[in-house]
């Protein structure tokens, strides 16, 4: 369970079968929970722009040179931002009895932070890093600039998507025209992998029995933010895919798709809401499903149907293929929570995590326990 505030919360949850609690870096609460015999897992936002990083050089940069703060974070390749979080991890595992460290925001910007923030990062640190890794920074930057240009005027992409018509030739044609984009996706992935490896090695050098996990994007979106399921397991003891079908923030599947639609509609007044949502469902592999919302408002208020949860769980399982534990995190306030827990059993998840505990959601906790029993 994510986000408990005190011992009273822990006791209530224990009565309902919970012993593992994910909390932020709160020394007092860690000690209280340890003394009571609970398993404590500390979650850390990875590339956060804390007070001392509130300056241009720490922010992510798009190909037009504009700076962005995404999810309260800066450039994932900034060495000072990286050092800050490594120092925190060192401090926690050296001084507190924690079962694991869980990285959050261990990625580049997602579309949910806006498509312009998503089109990052091309700062000086990323230029050097890309070149060290063997990528052509200029080719990547040109390709992402062209992508944004085509999102501002979506006609070309729409025509391509329509005319690609899913033939082998179209795939070759698309790949040939977009090599810089593929590099950009790979560059994001390699940057994230490099940092996870650094964290893992740091832990191994201090307290090897502390496990390392991460809250990662749901499989349908993960590749866009630099998280490749089929690679990431190599340095993680467990992964926690964030499979949120309802929610009002970044990482929630409905919210991410809604923001893509909103940006495209803002820039392309000729597009209809229904048209763009149908294109997005097709692109992200949801077109076979019925009852998906056809307005942005409905998507944000009602979320996506429960069928998307099963699809994402199965995809996570296939991509990781038993090489690391999978404990997806789902919304505790989901009105279909009982069904979600059953889907986790049915699809063979190794555990399930819930976001986020509040006293007014106690009935949902009781419901989980009933389903598990
Ligand atoms: Zn950068």
Q: Is 143 part of a structural domain of the chain? A: no
pLDDT band at 131 (very low <50, low <70, confident <90, very high): very high
Q: Is 303 part of a structural domain of the chain? A: yes
Ligand 1 center–CA 218 separation, angstroms? 23
Instruction: Return the number of other C-beta atoms located less than 10 Å from residue 150's C-beta.
Output: 14
pLDDT for 299: 96
Q: Model confidence over 140-154: pLDDT tens digits? A: 999 999 999 999 999
Number of domains in the chain: 1
pLDDT for 288: 72
Q: Model confidence over 335-365: pLDDT tens digits? A: 999 999 999 999 999 999 999 999 999 999 9
Ligand 1 center–CA 71 separation, angstroms? 15
Reference 211, options 238, 240, 241; nearest CA is 238
Ligand 1 center–CA 262 separation, angstroms? 26
The rounded distance, in Å, linking the Cα atoms of 260 and 255 is: 9
Q: Which of helix, strand or coil describes residue 352?
A: coil
Q: How much helix, strand and coil, in percent to the nearest 5, is found in the chain?
A: 55, 10, 35
pLDDT band at 39 (very low <50, low <70, confident <90, very high): very high
Q: Compute the average pLDDT of residues 168-192.
A: 86
The rounded distance, in Å, linking the Cα atoms of 64 and 56 is: 15
Q: Is 178 part of a structural domain of the chain? A: no
Of residues 166 and 97, more confidence is placed in 97
Reference 142, options 114, 122, 172, 128; nearest CA is 122
DSSP 8-state class, residue 223: G
pLDDT for 165: 62
Q: Model confidence over 257-300: pLDDT tens digits? A: 999 999 999 999 999 999 999 999 988 988 776 789 999 999 99
Ligand 1 center–CA 178 separation, angstroms? 21
Q: What is the pTM of this model?
A: 0.96
Ligand 1 center–CA 188 separation, angstroms? 10
pLDDT higher than threshold 90 for residue 206: yes
Ligand 1 center–CA 62 separation, angstroms? 9
The rounded distance, in Å, linking the Cα atoms of 18 and 33 is: 13
Q: Compute the average pLDDT of residues 182-204.
A: 98
Q: Which of 1-10, 161-170, 195-204 has the lowest mean pLDDT?
A: 161-170
Q: Is the peptide bond before 126 cis (omega within 30 degrees of 0)?
A: no
pLDDT for 97: 95
Mean pLDDT score across all residues of the chain: 95
Q: Compute the average pLDDT of residues 250-255.
A: 98
What are 143's strand-pairing partners?
A: none
Residue 329 in tokens: 């995190």
Q: Model confidence over 314-338: pLDDT tens digits? A: 999 999 989 999 999 999 999 999 9
Q: Is 136 part of a structural domain of the chain? A: no
pLDDT for 293: 95
8 A C-beta contact, residue 158 and residue 78: no
The rounded distance, in Å, linking the Cα atoms of 225 and 204 is: 26
Strands (E), 109-218: 211-217
Ligand 1 center–CA 45 separation, angstroms? 17
Ligand 1 center–CA 281 separation, angstroms? 30
CA angle 220, 158, 312 (to 5 degrees): 10
Q: Is 166 part of a structural domain of the chain? A: no
Reference 17, options 356, 242, 354, 312; nearest CA is 354
Percent of the chain scored above 70 by pLDDT? Answer: 98
The rounded distance, in Å, linking the Cα atoms of 105 and 73 is: 8
Contacts of range 165-169, beta carbons closer than 8 Å, 24 or more positions apart = none
Ligand 1 center–CA 126 separation, angstroms? 4
Residue with tokens 């060290």: 132
Ligand 1 center–CA 345 separation, angstroms? 40
Reference 39, options 25, 26, 22; nearest CA is 22
Domain that holds residue 105: 7-115+191-372
pLDDT higher than threshold 80 for residue 169: no
Q: Is 135 part of a structural domain of the chain? A: no
Ligand 1 center–CA 226 separation, angstroms? 13
CATH of the domain at 225: 3.20.20.80
Q: Is 107 part of a structural domain of the chain? A: yes
pLDDT higher than threshold 90 for residue 176: no
Q: Is 150 part of a structural domain of the chain? A: no
Residue 316, H or E segment = helix 307-320
Q: Indicate if the alpha-carbon torsion angle 25, 27, 30, 33 is positive or negative.
A: negative
Q: Model confidence over 84-94: pLDDT tens digits? A: 999 999 999 99
Ligand 1 center–CA 124 separation, angstroms? 6
8 A C-beta contact, residue 59 and residue 75: yes
* In 178-306, alpha helices (H): 179-206, 219-222, 229-232, 253-267, 273-283, 296-302
């Amino acid at each position: 369970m994510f986000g408990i505030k005190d011992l009273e919360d822990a006791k209530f949850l224990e009565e309902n079968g919970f012993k593992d609690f994910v909390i932020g870096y709160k020394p007092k609460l860690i000690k209280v929970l340890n003394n009571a015999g609970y398993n404590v897992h500390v979650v850390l936002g990875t590339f956060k722009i804390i007070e001392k990083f509130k300056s241009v050089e720490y922010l992510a940069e798009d190909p037009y040179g504009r700076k962005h703060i995404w999810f309260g974070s800066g450039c994932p390749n900034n060495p000072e931002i990286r050092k800050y979080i490594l120092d925190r991890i060192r401090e926690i595992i050296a001084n507190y009895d924690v079962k694991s460290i869980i990285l959050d925001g261990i990625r580049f910007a997602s579309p949910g932070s806006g498509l312009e923030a998503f089109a990052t990062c091309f700062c000086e640190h990323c230029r050097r890093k890309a070149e060290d890794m063997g990528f052509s920074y200029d080719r990547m930057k040109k390709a992402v600039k062209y992508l944004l240009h085509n999102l501002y005027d979506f006609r070309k992409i729409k025509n391509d998507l329509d005319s690609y018509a899913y033939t082998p030739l179209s795939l070759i044609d698309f790949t040939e025209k977009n090599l810089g984009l593929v590099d950009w996706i790979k560059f994001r992935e390699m940057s994230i992998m490099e940092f996870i490896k650094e964290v893992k090695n740091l832990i191994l050098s201090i307290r090897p029995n502390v496990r390392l996990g991460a809250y990662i994007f749901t499989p349908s979106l993960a590749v866009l933010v630099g998280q490749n399921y089929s690679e990431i397991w190599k340095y993680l003891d467990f992964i926690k895919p964030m499979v949120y079908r309802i929610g009002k923030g970044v990482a929630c599947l409905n919210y991410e798709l809604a923001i893509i639609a909103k940006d495209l509609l803002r820039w392309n007044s000729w597009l209809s809401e229904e048209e763009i949502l149908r294109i997005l469902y097709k692109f992200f592999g949801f077109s076979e499903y019925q009852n998906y919302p056809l307005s942005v408002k409905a998507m944000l208020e009602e979320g996506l149907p429960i069928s998307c949860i099963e699809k994402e769980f199965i995809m996570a399982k296939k991509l990781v293929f038993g090489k690391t534990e999978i404990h997806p995190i789902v919304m505790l306030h989901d009105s279909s929570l009982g069904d979600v827990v059953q889907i986790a059993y049915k699809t063979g998840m190794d555990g399930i995590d819930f976001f986020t505990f509040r006293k007014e959601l106690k009935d949902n906790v009781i419901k989980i326990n009933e389903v598990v029993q």
